[in-house]
Chain A
């Protein structure tokens, strides 16, 4: 785990030293998306790293890695491909159907993703920005338990953006629909019942919405806050879970690279069930954690 993280960081440092000049399409937010697209012919590599930790019992820490290559096909249409990775360490917490066993995986390749973003209205030119974003992903690992699970996921988002004060203050609003088909794979050597680790296919629909503000506080520096509502529905139980996360973010944009960091703790949550022994029942802690922190570093070329 340590050596792999080191490698990711070193790779980033090498990129910083070698990236060429280009126009930036900087992400001011860690979790939300703005309505702008890359200029035609521009490229961007973005490394996302998210830490999720604390389920209120035992020891739980997970890292999600996302390595993104983005290309501006036209001024309005941007496409991207992603390599997904994850590491899950969970000890002293077993939840039927979600976390069947203690695990410490280290960083592993967990999936691939493709996305497309189309800009209808530019926040800089049209006073109000609007874009559509769609993505499709295949994932081979379960982000909660770290166990093997085949999942096919599509997302569709509407992204709104309004700039104020000579574009120094940026508001974004996102609404999204997420649809997932997933099958958990049997765990070799483990004698688990269908209740502990169901291996029948499942379908889930997620409704997500978020909003945030970012303000230029000094040359190259933006500081803001963002909030994300995340919910999941399935046939048997209706709304299986919901959560609201919110927190501060900071963004720095340099000549040909930028970074954004966001702390997004869960403020409220709930759903169909809590895990046995869960003490903090004002949060959803089965699939979500109490804490999340994300760093994104982008390089333009």
Chain B
């Protein structure tokens, strides 16, 4: 057997292992379930999908310091007693390799009421679904620091997931202040 043949054993072993590697996706809840958790007293939700203009994107990026990757904002208005009671925002951020789908609930004052993880496809860092970690966002408003190791504690070993979710919440708060307020 030649050296080249020997060397080909490496991809020959790796490729089947990669091909057979299962996807690691955990769906904690769907949109409806998340809406129920975040707005338990709401009797309905009005979908308000918003397409950001270039100017709005720039304004959000300037005020939050976070890149706006997608121009479409998936928003629902929570209705309670026939009146708006807040906003339910659905978003996606990168973890390390995969997207994390999460939802942020904002009260009528624009402050975070809660954050829920819907889908976690990452192989690591699922500790971000820890209720205590997510509770750090409650009460945050547009303009707050929202930075790891400052007002948001990091989880060792899940740094990228923590960072991207923190940036995501910061971006959604700036989005609220720019287009939903």
A is bound by B: yes
A-to-B contact residues, CB < 8 Å? 1-2, 5-6, 9, 12-13, 16, 21-24, 39-40, 42, 49, 51, 53, 61, 75, 122, 124-125, 165-168, 216, 219-220, 252-256, 259, 261, 293, 295, 297
B33 beta carbon closer than 8 Å to chain A: no
Most buried by A among B1, B18, B149, B159: B159
The reply to whether B6 and A23 form a contact with Cβ atoms under 8 Å apart is no
By a CB distance below 8 angstroms, the chain A residues around B96 are 24, 167, 253
A124-B163, A293-B7 known; A219 vs B97 contact (CB < 8 Å) = yes
The reply to whether A295 and B3 form a contact with Cβ atoms under 8 Å apart is no
The reply to whether A2 and B158 form a contact with Cβ atoms under 8 Å apart is no
B-to-A contact residues, CB < 8 Å? 1, 3, 6-7, 9-11, 13-14, 17-18, 21, 24, 67, 69, 93-94, 96-98, 121, 123-125, 148-149, 154, 156-160, 163-164, 167
The reply to whether A254 and B163 form a contact with Cβ atoms under 8 Å apart is no
By a CB distance below 8 angstroms, the chain B residues around A297 are 14
By a CB distance below 8 angstroms, the chain A residues around B148 are 124-125
A5-B9, A125-B149, A293-B7 known; A166 vs B97 contact (CB < 8 Å) = no
Q: How far in angstroms is the closest Cβ of chain B from A53?
A: 7
The reply to whether A167 and B13 form a contact with Cβ atoms under 8 Å apart is no
Q: A51 to B11: give the CA distance in the assembly, Å.
A: 14
The reply to whether A61 and B157 form a contact with Cβ atoms under 8 Å apart is no
The reply to whether B21 and A255 form a contact with Cβ atoms under 8 Å apart is yes
The reply to whether B18 and A252 form a contact with Cβ atoms under 8 Å apart is yes
The reply to whether B13 and A12 form a contact with Cβ atoms under 8 Å apart is yes
A13 interface neighbour in B3, B13, B69, B156, Cβ under 8 Å:
B13
Q: How far in angstroms is the closest Cβ of chain A from B122?
A: 9
Shortest beta-carbon contacts, A-B, top 10: A23-B157, A39-B157, A255-B123, A39-B156, A124-B159, A220-B97, A254-B21, A75-B156, A23-B124, A125-B148
By a CB distance below 8 angstroms, the chain A residues around B160 are 124, 167
Q: How far in angstroms is the closest Cβ of chain A from B159?
A: 5
The reply to whether A5 and B123 form a contact with Cβ atoms under 8 Å apart is no
By a CB distance below 8 angstroms, the chain B residues around A253 are 96-97, 123
Most buried by A among B6, B18, B121, B157: B157
Q: How far in angstroms is the closest Cβ of chain B from A18?
A: 13
- Whose C-beta in chain A lies nearest to the C-beta of B3? A61
The reply to whether A254 and B18 form a contact with Cβ atoms under 8 Å apart is yes
Q: How far in angstroms is the closest Cβ of chain A from B11?
A: 8
A255 interface neighbour in B6, B24, B69, Cβ under 8 Å:
B24
By a CB distance below 8 angstroms, the chain A residues around B98 are 219-220
The reply to whether A49 and B10 form a contact with Cβ atoms under 8 Å apart is yes
B67 interface neighbour in A6, A13, A75, A166, Cβ under 8 Å:
A166
- Whose C-beta in chain A lies nearest to the C-beta of B5? A2
Q: A40 to B154: give the CA distance in the assembly, Å.
A: 13
The reply to whether A259 and B14 form a contact with Cβ atoms under 8 Å apart is yes
By a CB distance below 8 angstroms, the chain A residues around B67 are 165-166
By a CB distance below 8 angstroms, the chain B residues around A167 are 94, 96, 160, 163-164
The reply to whether B94 and A122 form a contact with Cβ atoms under 8 Å apart is no
By a CB distance below 8 angstroms, the chain A residues around B163 are 124-125, 167
Q: A144 to B47: give the CA distance in the assembly, Å.
A: 68
